[in-house]
Structure 1
Amino acid sequence: MTLRRLCLTLQGAVQGVGFRPFVYRLAINLDLKGWVNNSAQGVEIEVEGPTHLLNSFLGQLKNDLPPRAVIEMIECTDDAPIGYTSFEIRPSTEGSSTALLLPDIATCADCLREIFDPCDRRYRYPFTNCTNCGPRYSIIQSLPYDRHNATMRHFKMCPDCQSEYTDPLSRRFHAQPNACPICGPQVELWNEEGQLEEGWQDEPIQHAAEAIRQGKILAVKGLGGFHLMVDARNQAAVERLRERKHRPDKPFALMYPSLKRVRHDCEILEVEAELLRSHTAPIVLLKRKQKNSVRVDPENNIAEAVAPGYPHLGIMLPYTPLHHLLMADLDFPVVATSGNPSGVPICFNERQTPQDLKGLADLYLIHNRPILSPSDDSIIQVINNQPQILRRARGYAPLPISPSPIQNSKLSSPPTILAVGAHLKNTIALSLGDRIFLSPHLGDLGTVQSLKRFQKTIRDFLQIYDCQPDIIACDAHPDYASTQAAHTFAQEWQVPVIPVQHHYAHVLACIAEHPLERAALGIAWDGSGYGLDGTLWGGEFLRITTSGFERVGYLRPFQLPGGEKAIQEPRRAALGLLYSCFGEAIEQKQLAPMQAFSPQSLKLLYTMLDRHINTPMTSSVGRLFDAIASLTNKVQISSYEGQAAAALESALTGFETEEHYPVQISSTLPLIVDWRPMLNAILEDIAVGLDAGLISSKFHNTLVEIIVNVSHRVGESYVVLTGGCFQNRYLSERTSKRLREENFQPYWHQQIPTNDGGIALGQVMSIKRSHRSSINIQDVLSDPQPLPPRTSSCV
C-alpha cells in the first residue's frame, strides 16, 4: 500500500477554538499518523497515510469544523512519508505572528448547563469556560494563544483541570482559561471604598443581586471591563445613575435575563433574536412595544429614564457565567452601561476602579482574573433585515477583514500599514499582508486617559503581531489627537506619515466590505471632516476611481458660529443656517433657536456671523440635522454626539409620509445642493404649526431624493452610503429602497461601523490603493478637476 505525507499550514480562526483536538480526533478515527501544533502563523499539520484516507481527512478538515473555527487559507505540500507511528499534539512553536487573535466569546450551552447543575463540580462557578467559549483577546499578551502567554498563567490548574487540559478528547483540551472553584479566579463583593465587608464572603453574587433590588448602583467586572448596573424598572435609581455619571439624556443599554423577557418589552425580528443569542452577544437596538401593547406584567415596565423619548432600546443578554448567575438571581432587566466616568475609557482594573468610579458606584462585584486588553460591548442594529455594526468591540474585534483581491495591493511584499483613525469613535487598524486587523472601539480621544489607552493599544498590537509599520496613515485634520500621535510615532520609528481625507476614508471603508470592481459614487454624510479646501466637509458626493476620488457634489456651505462649540449646540447651527440664507434679516425672526439665547448672546453671535469671526463654513449634513432639530425645538443644546439627529429620527415615528421639500441643484459639476428652498418651506410649516414629526419625515425624504437626483446626474450605478448620518435607520432604509427603484445598486456598512469607527480601515485602503496603482499618494489628495457641465434640475 502506497503512503503519502501531507504538510499543511492553516490560517484563520484556528487557535483557541478546539481545532487541535478536532484534528487529533479526525486523524485517530482515520488511523492516520503524524502531528499537529499551534504556530505564530496558525496551525501546522503533518499527516501520513493512504491516499483515500488523506483525501477523506482533507474533506472533513474543511467541512466538519468546530463551532468557532474558520479556515481562511490552507497551504498543502505532498512529500515522502517518514514513518510516523502515532498521531500527537505537539507543543506550540514561536515565530513571526500572523495567526488570528480571537475576540472574547459568549458562554456556550454546555458550560451554561454545568454552572446551573448542582451535581457538577463547576456549579455556580462564574469562570466556567471551554474551547467553545470564554475570554480570548482580553487576556492574551502574545501569540501563539497558549496559557503562558495569557493572564491565566497566574492560576495553576488543579489535577482535575490539568487532566481536562491535557486530554485531546475533552472539550477543555488546551482551553487556556480553564479553571474551577478550587484553582481558578474568584469573585468578591466590595463596598464603595473598595473593601471586602464581613458577611459578604459567601455567595457574593447573591448579595450583589440583593443590592440591585434595593436600588443601589453596582459596578460589575465582566469580560472586557466594568459595567454600572442598576434596576432598569426603578426610575429613581436610574435617575441617580444619570446624575452621578453626568449623562442626562443618552440612552442606557440594558441586560435582560432571557430572550423571553426581551419579547415582553420589544418587537423582535428573527435576525435580531439570532444576534442576541449568538456567541458574539452584542447590544442590539430593538423597537419598543407601544405603551398600549398587551403586557404580561404592566408593573414591570422599563423606567422612562432609561431611554427618554426614544422608540428603541439597546439590549443584550448575559454573555459570561458571572452575568448569567447574576441575572438568574434577579430575573428582571438591569441597566448595564460602561463602567467609566463620562469622557474616559472603560475601567477594567479592580484595584484602580474604586478610585476611578468613586461617587458613581455603591458596590463593586469584582474578580481577580486580570484584563490585559479592555473592550466595550459591541452595538448592532438591523438595516434592511441585515445586521449593521455601529460599535465594533467585544465579540468582533480584533478579527481582521480581508478585502477582495481587486482592492488589495498586488505587490509581492505589501507594506505593513498602521492607521490611527479619527478623533471621535476611534479605532486603529494594522495591515499585514492581505489582512487588516481592527482594534475594538477605543472611543473619543478628548482626554488624557483615552489618549493613553489609544497609544497603548497601538503598542500592544505591534507587540502581539511582532511588527513595525512601514507607513502610518492618519486623518488629514492636523489638530486631531490621532494625527498628532501619528507624527510622534513616525519620528520614533522613522517612517512616513500619509494623511487621508476623512470622507474618502469613509467611502473606502464601506467599499472594503464589498467586492466593487468599478467606479462608484460615494455619499459621505457626517458631522464634519477636514476638507481639501480648508472648510469643514460633511455633505459629500465623491466619485471613487481606482486612483483616488473627485468631489462631484456637496451641500451648499453655511456658517457655524463658534466653530466646534456649534457641535454641542444645535441652536448655533440653526443660526448659521438662517444667516447664510437671510443675512441680517434673521434678526427680525422669532424662532426657537433665537429664543434659546439671551439677548446679549444673540447680539454677539449676529456680530460674529456678520464679520465672519470664528464662523467656519461647513457642508455638513450632520450640522443640517442639528439646525432642523433646533428649528423644530427638539434639541437646542446636545449632551452627547448625534443627539439632535436621533431626536429628529425618533420624532418621525408614526408620521411617515411620502412628501418632501424642494431643493435646487446647480447645473455643473461639482453639483451644489442648495437647501434654501427647503429651509423656506420648513419655516412655513413651522409658522402654521405643523407637527415636528411631519416636518422631520419630509426633511428625511428630501435628503433621500437629493441622493437619488445626484446619483442620476453623476451616472455611476454603484452608490455607497457612509458616514455617521447613515446610522439613521429610516434614512438608510428609505435611501437604499429608492436607489433600487431607480436601478442603482446601493451599498452600506454591515461589518464595519458607518461612523468614524470605520475611518482607520478606510485609511489603510487608501494606502493599499495607491500602492496597487503605483501612483504618488499626493495624487490621491489633490483637488478634483471639474467635469463637463450637466443639465440642472430640482428635487
Structure 2
Amino acid sequence: MSGFKVTISGTVQGVGFRPFVYRTAKRNNIGGYIKNSGNSVELSINGDKKNIDKFLYELKNNKPPLSRINSIDIKPCNEQYSDFRIVKSEKQGASDSVIPPDVAICDTCLGEIFNRENLRYLYPFTVCTDCGPRFTIIQSLPYDRENTTMSAFKMCEECGREYLDPDDRRFRAEPVCCPDCGPVYELYKGQENTRSDNPIRDAAAALDNGNIVAVKGIGGTHLCTSTTDANAILQMRKLLGRPSKPFAIMARDMSVARKLVYVTERDERLMLSRERPIVILPKKSELSGNISPGLDTIGIMLPYTGMHHLLFHYSKEPAFVMTSANLPGEPMALYNKDILSLGAGFSLLHNRDIKNRCDDSVIRAGRNCTFVRRSRGFVPSPVEVAETGATVLSLGAELDVTACLLKNNRAFLTQFIGNTTKPGTLAYLESAVTNLMELTGTDGVDAIAVDMHPSFNTSVLGQELSEKFSVPLIKCQHHFAHAASLSVESGIDRMVCITADGVGYGNDGTIWGGEIIAVDDGFERAGNLKPQLIPGGDLAARYPARVVAGILSGKYNSDELSGILEPYFGQDELRILLRQVETGFNSPFTSSTGRVLDAVSALLGVCTERTYEGEPAMKLEAFAKKGKVCVDIPVLVNTENRRYVLDTTAIVDAVYMAKEHGLPLHDIAASAQDAVAVGLCGMAIKAATDRGIDIIGFSGGVAYNDAIVTKVRDIATLAGFEFIIHKKVPCGDGGISIGQAIMAVRGI
C-alpha cells in the first residue's frame, strides 16, 4: 500500500471539488481524507499504486466544470486509512488558490424553480455546487458556510441532509437554502413595506405598469424599468442624472434577444455562458432610441439568477432596462437603506448581506472582441502571466479603476471599482484591495505601483500603502502601463503598441493620449499625435468645440476662427475663448487621440457636449457607420525630435473644409476616423521597422472603436506584421493596473 499527502491549489473551493474527490476515491478504492486548508485542499491518500495512479489521473482530467487546478504537490507519507472521508476545514494553508466567481444559475436548479412538485418551487435563491454566488458572499477563508453571508441562515433539516450527502449535487454548496430556511424578498413602495405575499410577482407588475424598480441581486443592485415605455426610461435618466449615457438591457431569453440585436453564433455562446456578461451588439430598430441615444449598439444580457427568471415569469415585458443603481461616479448601492434612498418607485429587497459588490461584466463583441469591464463572472479568477517572483499591488489610474495584486505568475484584478475622484468610490477601492489580499492570503507586498499623475487619489492612496508596508512606491507612466498590460497578458516582450485614449500624464509633464510605444526591454515613445492646444483644459473635454478652436488655431487667425466657431458659442464666451487661444491661459497641450475624435464629432454636429466619458467619440463612430471612406483627408507624418508625429491639424482642417463644401457628413466622419487609423498605424509600422519588431498592438480607450482598430489591423497584417489586441483585460483604464504591476516588477 502506498501513501501520499497531496495539496491541490487553484479554484478548488466552492465548486464541488471535495465531493468529486470523495466519489473518485470511493470508485478507485482509495483510503484517506480531503479537507479545505486555507484556500487550497489537502488530501491524505493510500491504496494500491495502480489505483492511486488512476485516481490522480481522474482528478486532473475529470474535475468539476467550475474548478481549476493550478498545481498538485505530492509527498510520500505513512498514514493508512481503511475508508475515505471529508473532514473539517482548516484556516491554514497555501496562499495561491482563489475563490471562484459568481456564475449563472444552472439549468437543473432553474428546472426545480418551475417544478410545482419541488421543494424550491418559485424560490429565487435556488443554487447548487455548479451555480450561484461565491465571491460576493465570502467573508473569510476557508470557503465554508460559516465564513459567508449565508451564516445568518440556519439550514433546515432537508437542506442539511443535502449539504452533508457526498452523493448529492448540493453537498457542501455553501449558499444552499430553501423557502423554509433561506433569504427572502420584500417589496417596498417608496419607503413603505408592501407586505406582499409574492414580492417578485408584484415587482413584475410594477415594471409592466411603467414604474422604476430597484432590484437587489447577488452582487449589487439594478434600477429596472420597461424597454417599451419611453416615459419610464426618461424618468430613469432624470433619476440617475444620466441624460444620454447608454443603458443596458436584459432580454427574457435568446429568442427575444435576436429580435432586439444582431447576434452571431459566437455572440450567442458568450451571452449563454455561465459568466453571463453584458455583450455590446448592433441594435435593431425595435428598441427605443432613449436606451442608447445616438449609438448603433446596445449592451444586452440574459437572466442569470432565479430572481431574474421569476421576474420574466410574471411579466409581460420582452426585456427590461437594467442599469447599475448608483449616482454618477458613486459605487453601486448595496445596503437596503441606501437602495431605498435612490428614489425608485418600488424596491425589491432581500435580507442577505452582500460582502463583495460586483458589477456586471461588459464585453464588446465583433471581430475585435474585448472586455470593456471585467467583473461579475470573472473576478476574482486570476490572469496567468509569466513568472515574476514578486508580489506587487497596483492601483490603476483615476476612472474605470481596477486594482491588481500580482503574485508571481498570477495577476488578481479586483472587480470594477469606477471613478475614484469620488470619496465613496475611493473607499470602495480600499476595501476591495483589503479583501483581495485576505482572500489570497497576502500579508505583504514587495512594491506599490500607481499612475505618475500626482493629483490622482489612487496615487495618494498608493503613497499611504507604501508607507504602511514599508515598500517602494513605483510611479508608472500611463501609456507605458497600457502597453505593458497588453505585453503581459499576451506574453509578448517585443512589440510596438499604439496607445490611444483621452488623457494620460506624460513623463515630460505634458498630457499624452496618442502614442506609439516601442516595447523592447523597456518603453520608448517612438511617435505621437501632434500636440494641440486645449483651451480651458477639462472644460474642453466637456465642450469639444473648444478643442476645434485649439487645433485650428495653428491654421487660422483670430477672425477666421471666430467665423468657424460662431455656431457653437455665444459672443461673450467666444471672445473669452479666442483670448485663451491667443494667450494660452489655462490651455495645456495634448497629443490625445480622444480629443481629436471629439473635435471631429463637434465640427460635424454629432455631439457638442459630453455628458459621459467617451460620448462624442462613441457617437462619431456610430454616425460614421452610415458613411463610406471617400473624402480626401491628408495623413501627414513628420519627424520631430527623432519621433514620428501625425499632423492632426491637417485632418481636422480637412474635415472643416469638406463640411464647408457640402460633402455628406457621414462620409466625412468615416473618412476622418480612417485617416486617424492610417496615421497611427503608419507611425507604428515605421517604428517597428526601425527596430526590427514584427508585432503591432493596440491598447487604450480608442481600441474600443471598431472601425479604427479594424483599419489598423488590416494595414498591419497586409504589411506583414502580427496584430494583437487585449483579450483578457479591458483595453481602457480598467486593464491598466496589470501593466503597472509588471512595470513595478521591472523597477523594484
Same fold (TM over 0.5): yes
2:381 to 396, 399, 418: 399
SS in 2 for 1:625: helix
1:498 to 454, 466, 474: 474
The 5 Å alignment of 1:715-734 reads 715=689, 716-734=693-711
Contact persistence 2:497–2:684 (CA under 8 A): no
Contact persistence 2:274–2:377 (CA under 8 A): yes
The 5 Å alignment of 1:57-136 reads 57-77=55-75, 79-95=76-92, 97-136=95-134
Distance 1:444 1:398 in 2: 20
Matched to 2:454, the amino acid is: P
Per the TM alignment, residue 144 of structure 1 is displaced from its structure 2 partner at its CA by 1.6
The Cα offsets for residues 192-251 of structure 1, whole Å up to 9 and x where unpaired, read as 11x2125x1x11111111101111100000111110000111011111111121111111
What residue in structure 2 maps to residue 549 of structure 1? 523
Distance 2:110 2:553 in 1: 61
SS in 2 for 1:352: helix
Contact persistence 1:10–1:75 (CA under 8 A): yes
Say whether residues 1:745 and 2:722 are aligned partners: yes
Distance 1:173 1:653 in 2: 52
1:243 to 238, 244, 247: 238
Change (3 A) 1:610 1:566: same
What residue in structure 2 maps to residue 147 of structure 1? 145
Per the TM alignment, residue 676 of structure 1 is displaced from its structure 2 partner at its CA by 2.7
The 5 Å alignment of 1:503-652 reads 503-516=479-492, 518-546=493-521, 548-584=522-558, 586-591=560-565, 594-652=566-624
Distance 2:293 2:537 in 1: 29
Contact persistence 2:635–2:678 (CA under 8 A): no
What residue in structure 2 maps to residue 302 of structure 1? 287
What residue in structure 1 maps to residue 221 of structure 2? 226
The 5 Å alignment of 1:368-379 reads 368-379=351-362
Contact persistence 2:37–2:142 (CA under 8 A): yes
Distance 1:543 1:179 in 2: 55
Contact persistence 2:279–2:299 (CA under 8 A): yes
Per the TM alignment, residue 18 of structure 1 is displaced from its structure 2 partner at its CA by 0.4
SS in 1 for 2:97: coil
Per the TM alignment, residue 585 of structure 1 is displaced from its structure 2 partner at its CA by 5.0
The 5 Å alignment of 1:338-357 reads 338-355=324-341, 357=342
Per the TM alignment, residue 264 of structure 1 is displaced from its structure 2 partner at its CA by 1.2
Change (3 A) 1:583 1:33: farther
Per the TM alignment, residue 582 of structure 1 is displaced from its structure 2 partner at its CA by 2.7
Distance 1:660 1:276 in 2: 40
Contact persistence 2:552–2:561 (CA under 8 A): no
Contact persistence 2:596–2:648 (CA under 8 A): no
Contact persistence 1:143–1:465 (CA under 8 A): no
The Cα offsets for residues 463-507 of structure 1, whole Å up to 9 and x where unpaired, read as 333423231110000001111111122233333211000001111
Per the TM alignment, residue 343 of structure 1 is displaced from its structure 2 partner at its CA by 2.1
The Cα offsets for residues 314-355 of structure 1, whole Å up to 9 and x where unpaired, read as 101111111111122224211001111222110011133212
2:666 to 693, 713, 721: 693
Distance 2:516 2:705 in 1: 18
Change (3 A) 1:596 1:659: closer
Change (3 A) 1:528 1:158: same
Per the TM alignment, residue 443 of structure 1 is displaced from its structure 2 partner at its CA by 0.6
2:310 to 315, 322, 325: 325
Distance 1:59 1:733 in 2: 44
Distance 1:535 1:81 in 2: 66
Q: How many residue pairs were aligned?
A: 740
Say whether residues 1:756 and 2:733 are aligned partners: yes
SS in 1 for 2:365: strand
Contact persistence 2:125–2:177 (CA under 8 A): yes
Contact persistence 2:503–2:592 (CA under 8 A): yes
Per the TM alignment, residue 82 of structure 1 is displaced from its structure 2 partner at its CA by 2.8
Distance 1:514 1:451 in 2: 30
What residue in structure 2 maps to residue 672 of structure 1? 645
Distance 1:83 1:95 in 2: 23
Distance 2:654 2:297 in 1: 30
- Segment of structure 1 superposing worse, 66-75 or 575-584: 575-584
SS in 1 for 2:461: helix
Per the TM alignment, residue 660 of structure 1 is displaced from its structure 2 partner at its CA by 5.8
Say whether residues 1:481 and 2:457 are aligned partners: yes
1:137 to 117, 121, 135: 135
What residue in structure 2 maps to residue 294 of structure 1? none
Say whether residues 1:656 and 2:621 are aligned partners: no
Distance 1:660 1:28 in 2: 74
What RMSD, in angstroms, separates the aligned Cα atoms of the two structures? 1.6
Change (3 A) 1:481 1:209: same
Distance 1:541 1:581 in 2: 25
Distance 2:686 2:300 in 1: 42
Structure 1 gap ranges (5+): 292-300, 772-795
What residue in structure 1 maps to residue 300 of structure 2? 315
Change (3 A) 1:188 1:660: farther
Distance 1:625 1:387 in 2: 22
What residue in structure 1 maps to residue 42 of structure 2? 44
Per the TM alignment, residue 724 of structure 1 is displaced from its structure 2 partner at its CA by 0.3
Per the TM alignment, residue 80 of structure 1 is displaced from its structure 2 partner at its CA by 4.9
SS in 1 for 2:555: helix
Distance 2:61 2:142 in 1: 24
Per the TM alignment, residue 658 of structure 1 is displaced from its structure 2 partner at its CA by 6.3
Per the TM alignment, residue 446 of structure 1 is displaced from its structure 2 partner at its CA by 2.1
The Cα offsets for residues 147-198 of structure 1, whole Å up to 9 and x where unpaired, read as 11111111110111111111111111111111100000001101111x2125
Change (3 A) 1:658 1:52: farther
Structure 2 gap ranges (5+): none
Distance 1:399 1:702 in 2: 39
Distance 1:39 1:129 in 2: 24
Say whether residues 1:460 and 2:435 are aligned partners: yes
The Cα offsets for residues 663-692 of structure 1, whole Å up to 9 and x where unpaired, read as 221246211111233233212210122222
Distance 1:641 1:717 in 2: 34
Distance 2:465 2:119 in 1: 50
Matched to 1:431, the amino acid is: L
* Percent of aligned positions that are identical: 34
Per the TM alignment, residue 41 of structure 1 is displaced from its structure 2 partner at its CA by 3.9
Query: Runs ≥4 in structure 1, deviation > 6 angstroms?
Result: none
Say whether residues 1:182 and 2:155 are aligned partners: no
Distance 1:28 1:477 in 2: 59
Change (3 A) 1:612 1:339: same
Per the TM alignment, residue 15 of structure 1 is displaced from its structure 2 partner at its CA by 1.0
Per the TM alignment, residue 263 of structure 1 is displaced from its structure 2 partner at its CA by 0.6
Change (3 A) 1:660 1:315: farther
Contact persistence 1:108–1:133 (CA under 8 A): yes
What residue in structure 2 maps to residue 28 of structure 1? 26
Contact persistence 1:660–1:701 (CA under 8 A): no
Change (3 A) 1:219 1:80: closer
